[in-house]
Amino acid sequence: MDHVSLSQLGADLLAQAREAASQRAAHTIFGGQEHALRQTLIALAGGAGLAEHDSPGEATLQVVAGRIRFRTDDDSLESAAGDLLTIPLQRHAVDALQDSVLLLTVGKEPA
């Protein structure tokens, strides 16, 4: 059985994000080519974000720490630690309103 502390890994990734030119850092904690599920912990320094991009398919985004704004062409939603968002099947973007840690879970077809 594997164990990952999201709090500790999130703190480590936030430290990396603060030093990175992109102001973000990420680490896939589960999944890969042979799995139907992928989970990636993403850290965004306050003011950074993920530019508009296509939906990865069925996916959720859990705010582990901090506060974000999730945007689509049609809507905008602020979310804080403890919130879980279902990612719509459309282009979207994420803005970190403060230092934030997110858990992205993506379902995909197995290889």
pLDDT in tens, 27-84: 999 987 778 889 999 999 999 999 999 887 899 999 999 999 999 999 999 999 999 9
Please state the domain count of the chain.
1
User: What CA–CA distance (Å, rounded) separates 64 from 57?
Assistant: 21
Domain contains 27: yes
Sign of torsion, CA 38 39 41 46?
A: positive
Residue spans of beta strands (DSSP E) within the chain? 24-30, 37-44, 49-53, 59-65, 67-72, 76-80, 84-86, 92-96, 100-107
Query: Does residue 1 lie within any of the structural domains?
Result: no
Paired residues of 110 in beta bridges = none
Regarding pTM above 0.75, the answer is: yes
Dist CA 19 CA 27 (whole Å): 16
pLDDT score at 84: 98
CATH assignment at residue 36: 2.60.120.10
**Domain that residue 25 falls in:** 6-107
